[in-house]
Each structure stands twice: as structure tokens, then as C-alpha cells.
Amino acid sequence: MKNQQFWKRFWSTPLITSNANIMIVWRFFVVMVIFFLSRFLFYIFNRDLFVDMSNAHLGELMLRGLRFDLAGALYVNVLNIVLQALPLRIRYHNIYQSVTKWLFFITNGLAIVVNLADIAYFPYTLHRTDWTFFTEFGHNNNMLAVLGAGCLQYWYLVVAFVFLMAVMWKSYGKAEPSKIARKPWLFYPITLALLALIIGLSVAGIRGGFTRTTRPITLVDAGAGVNNPAEMGLVLNTPFSMLRTIHNKVLEEQHFYSNQEVENIYTPVHQNDSIGQFQKKNVVILILESFARENVGSMNQYLDNGTYKGYTPFLDSLISVSHAYYDAFANGRKSIEAMPSVLASIPSLYQPFAISRYAGNHIKGLAALLREEGYQTAFFHGAPNGSMGFDAMSKLLGYNAYYGMNEYGNNADFDGFWGIKDEEFLQYFARKMGSFRQPFLTTVFTLSSHHPFHVPEKYQHVFMEGKIPLHKCIRYSDYALRRFFKTASQKPWYKNTIFIITADHSLPAVIHNEYKNGLGDFAIPIIFFTPDHSLPPVQDIRVMQQLNIMPTLLGYLHYPKKYFAFGADMSNPKIVPFVVNDDAGVMQYMEGDYLLRFDGKKPIGLYQFRKDMTLKNNILLHRPDIASRMTLKIKAVLQQYNNRLIRDQMIVK
């Protein structure tokens, strides 16, 4: 009898009667527990999909998932949290509390529903469901019948939903606000300060961190620590996956041509047909932050009536002894778009691949391919670990190891903004490679030439100012590059190495009109340099893109196996090189001397870009033959891209 009375009192009386802020913390804690329980159920019912899952690795993934639970729970509850924290006395009124109570249960109830529904749906997609689900199935007239049948088939998930809702319902009353008598001159400043604190903490939780280098976490960040893409489902939760992709454009399968026709026009499956033994040379890829081609003097000798010098004296000297592409272009506008383009030959058309639902697709980047051939692989980025999602993306691309600011281990070299200064981090990069066994593939992503374009104090009066703040910083980063090559040239691995130097993207901050358009917005340098001169110096004026870096390198190495890449092997004399990128939803396709702009259905512009660098003369109506030929190709590229992403067909089996 006494036990019955105890439990009756327990369920009917609050455990906490305090101010509204403690109540907010308690209820949010309960939501986090429910998110965690949902993930645990997700694993229990789908454990057959995660073979060879050790308890230790499962525990690691569960802990990693807390970061995404925090963001997802905040997305779902941010309105309720703000309403409960408003510096208004009305928040203690019964009607106000009733409204916020039902808001809490409706929003979190929906979160529980989608989390549990994904338990059943995940085996068919191996992806957490995102917002595109509503576009794909939103017009189905029989959705209610489908949902009803699903509830019967997966009755145990209905039971789980009822249980979790009951837990949430009972726990909700365990913390109730009590109006604390405060003078207005105390109540409003204190509650306003607490509201500001709550908002700040919520923003940090949604972004995934507090530092200025932290961009909002996305689906690709779940790739850090996973052994295969399917394990990202254990790290993510469905509310986060849905709400984080709410603005993403839905890709639809394209059927311009039959499957056989499209393969004949353009295929992303490659087989190196060159004769020669696989050369296991070391490969070092340097991705330079914001190094727009406009800054490189030797690639712009026509500017300013032939007097333009640029801001990269060392890079100019390196270009003179390299195979350099003078009409090279990025395939995206953001740093996170450069990694899959450069290192896996995957473009970002319509939406950045790295933050799309397809980031969990099965892919084999350059690191994965070369690792299978005995290469040691490592990715370097001087920012705090986790910044920009580079550590997660490098893992998905197949790199063995990641070296960031944590591994560098000396915060005295922090630039105060983004990470370790280029000069110091590139020296660390050069030294660290000396400890690797050969052959190795390493990649470094620099960061100093990033807004606010900070130059170390000791160089403030060494490097000349330019026309914009970026120019002085480019001079510094170019100097850091010079020092890197000086150090590297003294290492035993140096002469057996292919160096690839490129940029992540261009910048809109340009000076010359030739770069103020949809062509110049993507213009970057791409350079292949070999100290043993196995690649002779060439000023290559064929169009080149980041997508071509991986297949071209594999061509130089005589890589013997089939592989998947949307780019082309520029070392193959039979190929016709092209460039494709997305200019705010308009596809751009370059081939030979021409640039075609395509709106997804029809061409809307054709330019002879070598003669018309400012793209003022649209010759679409005058050269229908060229427009037709280029339209044929861009349609095939888009069909292969869309369909293979949607079908998860991005590896050669």
C-alpha cells in the first residue's frame, strides 16, 4: 500500500518547482534522453546492417551522435525554449503554459515519429531520411493507406512511440515554473540576460561549436569516425537530417537519353589505356585557400596592357618549370565543394555534394584508390579539428589520417582567426611527411589567405599592400609556399614526388573586368610539378577543371584499374577536355573556345570566351551547330551526375 502511494505521489507531483530556466534545462534533458533512446532502438532493429560492429566502435558512434542530437533537439525546440525564456511575466500564466506545453508535445512528438519511422525505412536507402522525402512522395494520394499498413507491419515501433511519448508526458510535469517575486527593475534585466545566454548557447549547439572557425555542422560531419557510409545513420538523427536539408534542391533523375546512349556520349567510368607499369610516386596535393587565377602574374600577362605582375612571385617561378593549365576552373564556390572535386572528381551541381543527402554515398576518392595500392595517406588542415567538416570529409574520401591544429600542438602559432599560420603549418607538413613510408599521398589545405586576410605581425612591413587586403595576404601565403618547397627539396622523398598545386575556389573580390563574370568567378590555377622533370614544362591552354585532377594524376601514374570520376584524364591525347560548373543554378559547360550556359532544359547563352572574356557577346543564335553539340554533352553529364547520385552508383564494382 505504501509503495502504491509513493509511486502515485511520484507521478502526480513535480520533482522540481523552480524558475523557468531550470524547467527549460530539465525538459531539454528529457528530450536529449529520448533522442538517444531513439538512436539505440535504431541500432537494435537494424543491427544486421552493421556487420563487424564492435561494442567499442558502437559506443564511439553513439557518443558522436550526441553532437547531432543536441543540434537536432535545438532545431525542434528552439521556439519553445525562446517562449519559455522570454522576459515577460505572462510566461507564468496557465494559458501561456498550456499553449507552450502543446507546442512542446507536437514538435517533439513529430521528432519521435520521424526517428522511429526511419528505423523501418533505413534498410531500403541506407541514408537517414531528409527533406527530399516530402518532395518525392508528397503527391502520393495513397499515403494514408501506406502509413496505415506500415503501422500494422511495424507495430512494435508504434509501441515504442507510445512508450517514449508517455515518458515525455510524465517527465514534463516533473518541472514546473514557480513565479519568483522580483522587482521589475530586477526581473527584466536578469531574464533578458538569461534569454541572451540561452540564445547564444542554442546557436552554438545548432552550429556544433563555439569557435569562429566552426561552420554549422551538416550531414557530412557525421562521416568522421565511421568505417563505411551506412554507419553515418547511427550518428545522425532524422529531425536533424530533415531540417538541415530543408532548402536543398531535390535532384530528379534525368532521361534525356537511354542508358546505352548516355554511356556512348559520356561515361564517368574510366580505364587507363596507356602502356607502362604503375609508377608508385609520392603525391603531394596543395589546395590553396582563395588563390584566384587573377592573382597569378604569369597567367595574366595580357592584363593592364602587358604590365601586370600579380602577387605570387614564387608560384610564377614554379609555373615556369611545371605543366601548368592556364585556363583552369574550380567546380564550386566554397571550400567544402573543393574537396570532393579535387580529391574524388565529384562536382557540386545544384547543391554542394558535401552537405547534400548524397554525402553518404559509397565513393572511392583518390586516397581510397591509392591506399589499396599500398600508399600511406594523410590530410592536413591547420584549423581546429572539425572545422569546415574537413576531417569528416577526408575520412569519407579514404584518408588514413588527419592532421589539424590539435596534432600540430602549438597554439602559439594560432593566427587568432582561423588556425595555424600558413608558414608554420606548411613547415610542419614538410617535416611530417619525412616520417611516412613511401609511397604516400598527402594533401594540405591552407588557410591564411582567408578573410580577414591576416598577415603575421613580423611581416606587416615586409609584404607590399595591394589594391585590396587579400593581395598582401596572397604575398605572404606565396612566401610560405616558397619556404615549404625549400624545406621539402632537402628531403629524401622529394625527387620521387608529383606535386599538384591548385586553389579551392576563386573570390568575387577581383579587380579586372575579365574576371567579373560567370567565367572569371571560377578561374583558378592548376599546376603539376615534378622535381625529376618527368613532366616537362608546358603552358597548357586547354580548358581544365578540378574534376580532372584525379584522373589526370592516375593517368600519369599509369594506374591499372577501372575507377569512377566525373572528370577526364588530360594525359590521354584522345580525350576532348571540358569544364562544368554551376553558376547560381545555371549550368556552364566549356569545351574548346566556347562556353555554353544551360538552364536545365535548353541553352540560354553561347560565348567565344577566349575572345570575349567579359561574356558580352551572346552568339547562341549565330552558331546553332556548336550550341547543339555542346547541349548534347551537358545533358549527358547532368544525366549521369543526377542518376548516379540518386542511385548511389559512384564506384566501379
The burial of 653, by beta-carbon neighbours within 10 Å (0-12 exposed, 13-18 middle, 19 or more buried), is given as exposed
Residue 141 has pLDDT above 60, yes or no: no
386-434, pLDDT tens digit by residue?
887 888 889 989 999 999 999 999 999 998 888 999 999 999 999 999 9
Domain ranges of the chain: 10-244, 284-491+501-567
The burial of 141, by beta-carbon neighbours within 10 Å (0-12 exposed, 13-18 middle, 19 or more buried), is given as exposed
Give the right CATH number for 284-491+501-567 from 3.40.630.10, 3.30.70.2500, 1.10.150.120, 3.40.720.10.
3.40.720.10
C-alpha grid cell, residue 619: 552568339
Q: Within 10 A of 277 (CB to CB), how many other CB atoms are there?
A: 8
363-382, pLDDT tens digit by residue?
999 999 999 999 999 999 99
587-640, pLDDT tens digit by residue?
999 999 999 999 988 999 999 999 999 899 999 999 999 999 999 999 999 999
User: Which span out of 111-115, 173-177, 352-356 was modeled with the highest average pLDDT?
Assistant: 111-115
- CA distances, 34 to each of 66, 111, 425, 470, 558 (Å): 11, 10, 43, 48, 53
What pLDDT, on a 0 to 100 scale, did the predictor assign at position 339? 94
- CA distances, 496 to each of 209, 367, 440 (Å): 41, 18, 10
Closest CA to 175 of 15, 349, 384: 15
CA pair distance 70, 155, nearest whole angstrom: 28
